[in-house]
Amino acid sequence: MAVPRTAPILVASNRGPVSYTLGEDGSLTARRGGGGVVSGLSAIGPDAGAVWVCAALGEGDREAARRAGANHLNPGDTGGQQVRMLDIAPDVFAAAYNGIANSVLWFVHHLLYQTPVEPVFDAEFAAQWAAYETYNAAFADALALEAVDEAVVLVQDYHLALVPGMLRERRPDLRIGHFSHTPWAPPDYYRLLPDDVAADVLRGILGGDRAAFLTERWATAFADCCAAVLGAEVVRDGDGAATAVRFEGRETRLGVHGLGADADFLRERSRRADVEERLPGLRAQIGPGRKSIVRVDRTELSKNIVRGLLAYRRLLETRPEWRERVVHVAFAYPSRQDLAVYRDYTQRVRQVADEINAEYGTEDWTPVALHVKDDFARSLAAYRLADVALVNPIRDGMNLVAKEVPVVSERGCALVLSREAGAYAELGEDALVVNPYDVEATAQALHEALSMGDDERAARTKRLAAAATALPPQAWFLAQLRAL
């Protein structure tokens, strides 16, 4: 059956707005996801005819994609959103997603390699790269099929870096934008990639009319890589900021859209019954009269959870006055557990937390409360209670936790923030800023955060919340559409 060309707006991302689990009886259960793109897209409503193209991630998704056939997923599962889920061969998907996207491109942009021993670009890598090309081509094919003439296509993230170029070959009439939700590596680090791959990724994104980023810093790094790797011309404005890249007769504009927190959603969601229900348990765990240092992350190498724990240990060591008076509530939710290095990291997080509890814990005080089971309502409850939020990634495209906590906080929350998070550009002034590798300085920042007076903390939180919500998801999404 031919797919009609009806979509005036298309979004493409690896992870879609819905995921399915397959029951033993063959039934499918849909679960809708959150995140900036989902709420951003809601700005245009289901009647705009937008289509979201995503990959089937697991067996449930594959089954749902097969049942949908040439049609979109059942709109009842997606909140009315038209979604095409691509059933890409499992081995191709695994090589592209785990092999290239998460183990190479993610590592490059977050500077995660231990360079004396990795990366090693060998024959296995070459095969994975071929799979990444196949997977990107599947997206380009699907988008080309459904887009009306001159449709706008918003391609998301490092999984789909080749899509803009591939799509332009298939459909030169389209207006194509790429958005990077990650940082972008500086040229010297980016050039760890094999030369042809480094060039192909840049060429892929430059196939679009626009390449957009979460901060100026990442946009500049991208432009610098285009100049260093491709010899492309970078167009700059009067202040020297890169505004476009010219390459092979085409110009790709650069854009910056700092995704903000969704204040309305967060304020309403964090007052719901399931959040209220979790408050007493959390309060009991912290204990009466004690302060809390809260962190909420996926257990992700870039989040720097281990150094966060080491800084907390150092705080207890060097400032004994905080012993029994503070609890570090650390939510470290499972992520990318298909990768051994993530499983090892998760283990290390547990181990360091256990060590701190063994070393400092007393009969009625457990210094670290580590939770590894994903629970959004409990995270919101912790946001409400937190005295200090610790957000210390070694590198992060934005980090929305840093933006969400000030919005939800009840009594004001001091923010200890890494200067390597994209959010630093907007929140740096009212946060206690740290070099994420410096455990000693982070311990000192935690001490200052815990010692901050109530008035100052409340005033800073108010300003942080205002900065954090300057560009909510819907405005963020519309700004990209308009720019194209």
Name the residues that contact ligand G6P, by CB under 6 A: 15, 157, 181-182, 335-336, 397
Give me the least distance between CB of 262 and ligand G6P, in Å please.
15
Which positions ≥6 away from 120 have C-beta within 8 Å? none
**308 vs 397 by CB, closer to ligand G6P:** 397
Strands of 361-413, DSSP E: 368-371, 388-391
Give me the least distance between CB of 393 and ligand G6P, in Å please.
10
Burial of 55 (0-12, 13-18, 19+ CB in 10 A): buried
Rounded Cα distance between 415 and 402, Å, is 7
Rounded Cα distance between 228 and 53, Å, is 33
Whether the CB-CB separation of 331 and 378 falls below 8 Å is answered with yes
Strands of 3-68, DSSP E: 7-12, 18-22, 28-32, 51-55
Give me the least distance between CB of 182 and ligand G6P, in Å please.
5
Structure tokens at 74: 């059942």
Beta-bridge partners for 417: 391, 433
Give me the least distance between CB of 301 and ligand G6P, in Å please.
12
Q: Side chain identity at 55, as an amino acid letter?
A: A
Q: How open is the CA angle 142-148-151, to the nearest 5 degrees?
A: 90
Q: What are phi and psi of 439, to 5 degrees?
A: -65, -40
**285 vs 335 by CB, closer to ligand G6P:** 335
Give me the least distance between CB of 15 and ligand G6P, in Å please.
4
Give me the least distance between CB of 181 and ligand G6P, in Å please.
3
Q: Side chain identity at 38, as an amino acid letter?
A: V
**110 vs 328 by CB, closer to ligand G6P:** 110
**33 vs 75 by CB, closer to ligand G6P:** 33
Whether the CB-CB separation of 385 and 282 falls below 8 Å is answered with yes
**21 vs 335 by CB, closer to ligand G6P:** 335
Whether the CB-CB separation of 273 and 368 falls below 8 Å is answered with no
**14 vs 220 by CB, closer to ligand G6P:** 14
**159 vs 447 by CB, closer to ligand G6P:** 159
Which positions ≥6 away from 108 have C-beta within 8 Å? 185, 189, 190, 192, 193
Name the residue number minimizing CB distance to ligand G6P. 181
Task: Answer whether the bond into residue 119 is a cis peptide, omega within 30°.
Answer: yes
Give me the least distance between CB of 57 and ligand G6P, in Å please.
8
Give me the least distance between CB of 398 and ligand G6P, in Å please.
7
**157 vs 430 by CB, closer to ligand G6P:** 157
Residue among 196, 129, 128, 132 at smallest CA distance from 163 = 132
Q: How open is the CA angle 479-481-484, to the nearest 5 degrees?
A: 110
**74 vs 98 by CB, closer to ligand G6P:** 98
DSSP 97: I
**181 vs 313 by CB, closer to ligand G6P:** 181
Give me the least distance between CB of 405 and ligand G6P, in Å please.
17
3-state DSSP call for residue 275? helix
Give me the least distance between CB of 432 and ligand G6P, in Å please.
23
Give me the least distance between CB of 325 and ligand G6P, in Å please.
34
Residue among 297, 379, 376, 369 at smallest CA distance from 334 = 297
Structure tokens at 118: 């990795």
Q: What are phi and psi of 128, to 5 degrees?
A: -65, -40
**134 vs 335 by CB, closer to ligand G6P:** 335
